Structure formats: C-alpha cells, structure tokens
Amino acid sequence: MSITSAMYSATSGLMAQSKALASISSNIANSSTTGFKSTGTNFNSYINKTSTIDEQTGGVLATTYRNISGQGEIQSSSVSTNMAINGEGFFVVSEETADGTVAFTRNGSFSTDAQGYLSNSEGYYLYGWALNANGTVAAGNKGSVDSLVPVNVANIKGTPKATSTMGIDANLPSDADTGDSFTTDMEMFDSLGVSHSITLSWTKTGENTWELDASDPVMSSDATRTTGTIAGFPIQLSFNTDGTLASAATVAADGTTTAADLSALSFSVDGWTTGAGGSAVALNLGTANSNNGLTQHASGDSTPSVSVETTTQNGYKPGSLTGTTIGKDGIVRAVFDNGETRAIYQIPIATFANADGLESVTGTTFTQTAAAGQYQLRTAGDAKAGTVTAGALESSTVELTDEFSRMIVAQQAYSAASKVITTSQDMMDTLIAMKR
C-alpha cells in the first residue's frame, strides 16, 4: 500500500468517525424527546484490490441506522390525552385533518387544539376509527387507512336516555296498622330527556302483606301538570316472617290477582304530553327471600314511616361534555355531566413486519417503505399490537451512558486516523527532502 493509499484509508476513517459522532450528537440532543428512537452507526470494511499488481487499498464505510422498533420507558403524564404504546406498533397520524398523507409515530404527546383535534408536539393529527352509537366501527373496511378519520373531541353533544329500569331499596314498617298508607317519590326520564316524578303509594293490607300503587307522572318542575298515563299497578307484595320479600302479584281492574315473578315486574307510561314515545320500565323491588330491595321490619318510631335507602333509574337528560377517557383498548370515550359515557373513537395500532425499515420524516415520525412491509391496522392488544396507556408518554430510547462510551471510542479512532494523516505527510516530506 502506498503512502497516498494510507492517507485515503485514514481519511475514510475520519469521515466514518465524523458520521458516528453526528449520530451520537443527535442522540444526546434528543435524550428527552418523547418517542425518539436512537440511531447507531455500522462500520463496513472497504477493500479496493488490484489483482495485476496485488495492491490492496483499505478503508471503511459508515452507515447510520435507527432502532425504530426499540421500546422506550413509559412515564406518567398529567395530560389525560397523552398516550404511550406498550409493545409493538405506531399511532396513525397526518399533517392534515382531511385527505392528508398518513404517517406513523410513537410520539403520543396528543392534546386538544383550538378546533378540538388531538395533535402531538410535532403538529401531527391523530387518526382513528369513528364509532357508531352502539360502539361499533362505522367504516366497512377496517384494514385500510381510508377508514380512519381525525380524532376530534369538540362539539360532542350528550343524548338523552329514557328510563328503562327502576329500583328501590326501602323498608316498610311492620309496626304500621292495617290500612295505613305511605307515599314516596321517584324520578324518571322520557325519551326526550324530560324529567318526571311518580308518586308511589304503600298501603298495608294485612299481616305481612302490602299493596303498591303509583300515580300518573307529573312534571318534576311543576307537580300540577300530569304528563302521562301509567299502567302496571297496583302490585300486591307478601313478606316472610323474617321480613324478607316473599312474592308479588299483579291486580287487574276487576280485582283479580295474578302471581308475578319478582324479576319480571314492570310498568309502562303512555301518552306523554312532551311528545316523547311510550316508556316500558322494568321494576326491581328485590330478590325473594333476601334482604336486598324491599324489606318489612319494625320502624321503632312512634309514627311509623317507609324508610327509603336508595332509588335507582338509568335514564338521564341531555348532558354537556366534561372530558374524555382513553382505555387500554384504544377506545376514546366522551364523559358527560349527566353521567352518560359514550364510546366515540377507537385508536388503531399500525404494525409492520420490519418496523426498522420505516423511513424517518422527523425525529419521531415515519412513513411506510417497501423494506418495512405493508402496514396492518389492529386494535390495541390484538396479536402483535401493543396496548395503549393513557396519561403517559414513551420516553426516548437514548441511553446516555452508552452514548458517552461510543463518543470516547469515536474520539480515539478519529485521533488515531488523524495521526496516520500527519505521519503520511511527514513521510511525503521526507521523500521530497531526499530529492533536494
């Protein structure tokens, strides 16, 4: 190998170590960047051999690679819409809110912008599947990114729900006299979300027997306005000698009674003056031979009364959005002030056969390549896809101790290569001096 060849080899070493140092510098600079994937440098020996004179010129080629598939540590965040993927896969994002080119990222620093879209620190919008009212994906082809829409959590309106189940947990006073009657009130909602009040009448008809009746509903805000016609009452109730509920029977208009299953009691309301549709309500008074629901025990008061512990019903008026929650399955749920919780989006996880083959757009955002393979849209936790952790962020995969070790090695190799240059220069100077 000639002196010139030695200089060329040393120069390739300087260039290779410079590239390694650039990689190290980028990693250290991004050691706190959310979702950043560290880069490394591969060194490949390069030999240029000329067989006629059996001369070999040595050198090195350096190439930079990124460990895109590496998992960073998951750290908690105070922002509920921040997300981290625990396992394989990427969020699907785009720089546009409509008809934009999709990209893939692990940077889950999503927060709500002025228009209600979830975007991360790099300005990319999060995409997901829109869900129907029943919680199923609205799109027909879940396998294509064309089925995705930008996730927007603004302008989501709460919907009313008609009461369809009603329950009461109360004690009827066993020390009341036969013929004594007591009243309690319960609230229910029609299909338009209007609140109504129903008065329940409890009359002791004999030893361990009671009759439950109900008045037509009235407007909760105005008790003088009757708003519908109730049917399904009265109901006869029998209690065991230990005070637990024994059985029930419905009473027809002609006074005939029919035994009824406690688990199948119900009533209806028709003719709502609010314009709502008719209501059918399952009535839960408790389980036979148990102390849940209705009981009949002594009140211990000089003036007995019905003691109501709790009443339940599942209807509600239209509510206002108070926030969102995100589950491990990637489902985004809207939470309303009326108690309603509704699934509105599902965030897919995109996986690749070779994630390390993705092309970098920015430090944490990538695009699909032939080397990476075709994307697969999966639900979180399905097969290869990782789960979603809300209120958390994935930290950078950079390990500073490793980077400092690489820096020392690169510095030493660079210094050694520079010595070859200076030594070669000295040798050239010696040759020139010989001619003189």
Instruction: Tell me the helix, strand and coil percentages in the chain, rounded to 5.
Output: 15, 40, 40
Pair 298, 362 in one domain: no
Q: Which residues contact 299 (CB under 8 A, 6 or more apart)?
A: 171, 173, 174, 175, 176, 305, 307
The residue-averaged pLDDT of 231-258 equals 93
The residue-averaged pLDDT of 131-155 equals 90
Give the chain's domain count: 3
pLDDT tens-digit map of 209-220: 999 999 999 999
Confidence of residue 316 (pLDDT cuts 50, 70, 90): very high
Residue 115: predicted pLDDT: 93
Residue 53: predicted pLDDT: 54
Residue 52: predicted pLDDT: 54
Domain that holds residue 361: 74-158+321-394
d(CA 345, CA 151): 7
pLDDT tens-digit map of 349-366: 999 999 999 999 887 999
Question: CB atoms < 10 A from the CB of 187, how many?
Answer: 15
Instruction: With beta carbons less than 8 A apart as the criterion, state whether 284 and 167 touch.
Output: yes
Pair 300, 198 in one domain: yes
Pair 290, 265 in one domain: yes
Residue 118 has pLDDT above 80, yes or no: yes
Pair 309, 169 in one domain: yes
Instruction: With beta carbons less than 8 A apart as the criterion, state whether 309 and 170 touch.
Output: yes
Pair 153, 247 in one domain: no
d(CA 431, CA 436): 9
Confidence of residue 1 (pLDDT cuts 50, 70, 90): low
Between the alpha carbon of residue 255 and those of residues 234, 251, 334, 381, the distances in Å are 10, 6, 49, 59
Pair 373, 425 in one domain: no
Pair 304, 179 in one domain: yes
Pair 224, 115 in one domain: no
Pair 244, 181 in one domain: yes
pLDDT above 70 covers what percent of the chain?
Answer: 97
Pair 284, 250 in one domain: yes
d(CA 355, CA 70): 9
The answer to whether the pTM exceeds 0.85 is no
Beta bridge partners of 366: 104, 360
Residue 165 has pLDDT above 60, yes or no: yes
Instruction: With beta carbons less than 8 A apart as the criterion, state whether 120 and 107 touch.
Output: yes
pLDDT tens-digit map of 9-54: 888 888 888 888 998 898 899 888 888 888 888 888 877 665 555 5
Pair 184, 233 in one domain: yes
Pair 177, 116 in one domain: no
Distance between first and last Cα of the chain = 25
**φ/ψ (deg, to 5) at 258:** -135, 125
Which CATH number goes with the domain that contains 250? 2.60.98.20
Residue 260: predicted pLDDT: 94
